[in-house]
Amino acid sequence: MFSLRNFPSLASIFSAYASMSGYVMMIKQFVEMTIPPPLQNYIITYLNCYFVSTPSTLTLIIESQIKNGMCNELYEAAQVYLSTKINRDASRLRISRHHSEKNVKLYLSNGEHVSDVYQGIELKWRFIVVNSEKSNMVDECFELSFEKKLRDFVLNSYVPYVERKAKVINDERRILKMHSYCNRSLTWQSVKLEHPTTFETMAMNKELKRSVVEDLDKFIKRKDFYKRVGKAWKRGYLLYGPHGTGKTSLVAAMAKHLKFDIYDLQLASVKGEADLRRLLLRTKNSSILVVEDIDCFMDLPTRLQPMSHDDSKGTETLTLTGILNCIDGLWSSCGDERIVIFTTNHKERLDPELLRPGRMDMHIHMGHCCFDGFKTLASNYLGLSHDENHYLYPEIKRLISGEVLTPAQVSEELMKNEDIDMALEGLVRALKKKRAEQEKYDDDIKKNMEKLEEGEET
């Protein structure tokens, strides 16, 4: 039976503790004096392997951006996948909805957890937000935790599974986006692409439309071909023609046909080639890079031209050669299924370097409205089928031939009246007026030329 009489006194306990402490201090001093510090560290590490238990959990950090600010596609896949795994017991969630979307979207909030089971194995996810004081930017990441022994299984089986599921989810709720450059943060800001134009509603020549669609379809199906011949999986298009001929609408139709996002690159907002490289690295695969009115940048210096006095002071300049090299080299080699589109109102002003083979693979002339284009617009605005023949069609076909009205001008005339006959009659008047103006202009030019010739003879 236990008795307090057999328990050591408090004084004897303190005495034993003091003696033990003295021995420990003496041994410590002896070790420090006789054993070199590197050997001490080795012994401590060796003993820790036996006496200190190591954690059995491995945590993977999936950051939103990787080196050089490039988007981490694995992070985006995890965000999409986990949006379908959110537990009803979650205490804090982020919620958002675009004005054109029916349903709200739920995302994990800072510190929230999600558990997932894959092939009978439990894995834990956690969302983390870190405010960076140096860059004044917010860094986001996911933490994926599991048993260490499952490392190869998670990396080789579970992670690819998450990527595949995210792709399926994205395809089911695919929302095309228009990305524009934010000068302040050197990032792309996106909005939903809501342009209504498709190839079915596009007012252009039938044969030209067919050739564009066939070229796009051929490009998408030739991944193995590009890989085999050692070329970047990229295609370049030059859209040229006057204002109002549908260049922007064609870009939207191409994006919808391919289900590609659009990156609208405004070169006037880019300070230098370093910023341009960062922007191009942050674009995604399966996307269209658009540079509108490229002729406005033809006064940029090339690398062969001398720099101005101000430029030689160290200020980085954006050169035409640098732009083309970034797009041809860096942007093309860092992704797949890339399309670059340049638009211009004045093809004759473009530098030959821009038009060389391998840079702009297809030149598409967006001219004035032809009769095929008119019939498409009549179907869009007035509900007339392509096979339907209105009594004014023969006259419209005669008047619209040649460079008379652009598709935008024809659309404007058709929108003036909902009555089919009145709308078409208004278009006939507009065509006659425009042709009369052109004939008068041509006559004036002819008379001026005759006067100049008479003056030279005298």
- Residue 376 within any structural domain of the chain: yes
Confidence of residue 170 (pLDDT cuts 50, 70, 90): confident
Q: Are residues 208 and 317 in the same domain?
A: yes
Q: Are residues 355 and 400 in the same domain?
A: no
Q: Are residues 121 and 214 in the same domain?
A: no
Q: What is the DSSP letter of 331?
A: I
Boundary (domain end) residue, out of 144, 174, 204? 174
440 in Cβ contact with 457 (< 8 Å)? no
The beta-carbon contacts of 162-165 under 8 Å, at least 24 apart in sequence, are 162/77, 162/78, 162/81, 163/73, 163/74, 163/77, 165/81
pLDDT value of position 133? 60
Confidence of residue 278 (pLDDT cuts 50, 70, 90): confident
Is residue 1 scored above 70 in pLDDT?
no
pLDDT tens per residue, range 298-322:
665 554 344 444 444 445 677 778 8
Q: What DSSP line would sit under 432-457, residue for residue? A: HHHHHHHHHHHHHHHHHHHHHHHHHH
CA distances from 326 to 37, 67, 209, 333 (A): 53, 18, 30, 10
pLDDT value of position 23? 67
- Residue 40 within any structural domain of the chain: no
Q: What is the DSSP letter of 233?
A: S
pLDDT value of position 43? 67
Q: Give the pair of three-digit tokens for residue 172.
A: 């089911």
- Residue 25 within any structural domain of the chain: no
Task: Tell me the average pLDDT across 112-139.
Answer: 82
Q: What DSSP line would sit under 147-209, residue for residue? A: EGGGHHHIIIIIHHHHHHHHHHHHHHT---EEEEEETTTTEEEEEE------TTT--S-HHHH
158-162, 382-386, 454-458: range with lowest mean pLDDT: 454-458
Is residue 4 scored above 60 in pLDDT?
no
- Residue 247 within any structural domain of the chain: yes
Query: What whole-number percentage of the chain has pLDDT above 90?
Result: 40
241 in Cβ contact with 403 (< 8 Å)? no
pLDDT value of position 305? 45
Number of domains observed in the structure of the chain: 3
Is residue 5 scored above 70 in pLDDT?
no
50-54, 55-59, 207-211, 261-265: range with lowest mean pLDDT: 50-54
What is the side-by-side strand order in the sheet with 261-264? 187-192, 177-182, 261-264, 287-291, 338-344, 234-240, 362-365
Q: Are residues 233 and 289 in the same domain?
A: yes
Boundary (domain end) residue, out of 337, 365, 393? 365
Task: Tell me the average pLDDT across 317-338.
Answer: 76
CATH code of the domain in which 271 resides: 3.40.50.300
Is residue 219 scored above 90 in pLDDT?
yes
Task: Tell me the average pLDDT across 424-449.
Answer: 88
- Residue 180 within any structural domain of the chain: no
Q: Are residues 209 and 166 in the same domain?
A: no
Q: Are residues 205 and 327 in the same domain?
A: yes
CATH code of the domain in which 137 resides: 3.30.310
Residue 307 DSSP SS3: coil
Q: Are residues 195 and 140 in the same domain?
A: no
Q: Give the pair of three-digit tokens for residue 273.
A: 């080639």
d(CA 440, CA 443): 5
Q: Are residues 216 and 200 in the same domain?
A: yes
User: Which residues have a Cβ under 8 Å from the Cβ of 132 and sit 6 or more positions away?
Assistant: 138, 139
Separation of CA 250 from chain center: 18
Task: Tell me the average pLDDT across 7-28.
Answer: 66
d(CA 140, CA 110): 9
- Residue 274 within any structural domain of the chain: yes
Is residue 354 scored above 90 in pLDDT?
no
Q: Are residues 376 and 294 in the same domain?
A: no
- Residue 394 within any structural domain of the chain: yes
Highest mean pLDDT among 54-58, 167-171, 294-298, 312-316: 167-171
Q: What is the DSSP letter of 103?
A: S
pLDDT value of position 382? 94
d(CA 376, CA 401): 16
Rg (CA), the chain: 35
| Residue numbers of the domain that contains 128 | 57-174
Boundary (domain end) residue, out of 338, 365, 392? 365
Q: Give the pair of three-digit tokens for residue 28.
A: 């410590």
Q: Are residues 206 and 323 in the same domain?
A: yes
- Residue 342 within any structural domain of the chain: yes
pLDDT value of position 306? 46
Q: Are residues 339 and 387 in the same domain?
A: no
Confidence of residue 235 (pLDDT cuts 50, 70, 90): very high
Q: What DSSP line would sit under 39-88, residue for residue? A: HHHHHHHHHHHHHSPPP-EEEEEEESB-GGG-B-HHHHHHHHHHTTS--T
Q: Give the pair of three-digit tokens for residue 365.
A: 């002339």
Report pTM: 0.67
Is residue 77 scored above 80 in pLDDT?
yes
pLDDT tens per residue, range 130-140:
776 655 566 78
d(CA 431, CA 228): 52
Q: Are residues 155 and 249 in the same domain?
A: no
Highest mean pLDDT among 264-273, 277-286, 333-342, 431-440: 431-440
The beta-carbon contacts of 5-11 under 8 Å, at least 24 apart in sequence, are none
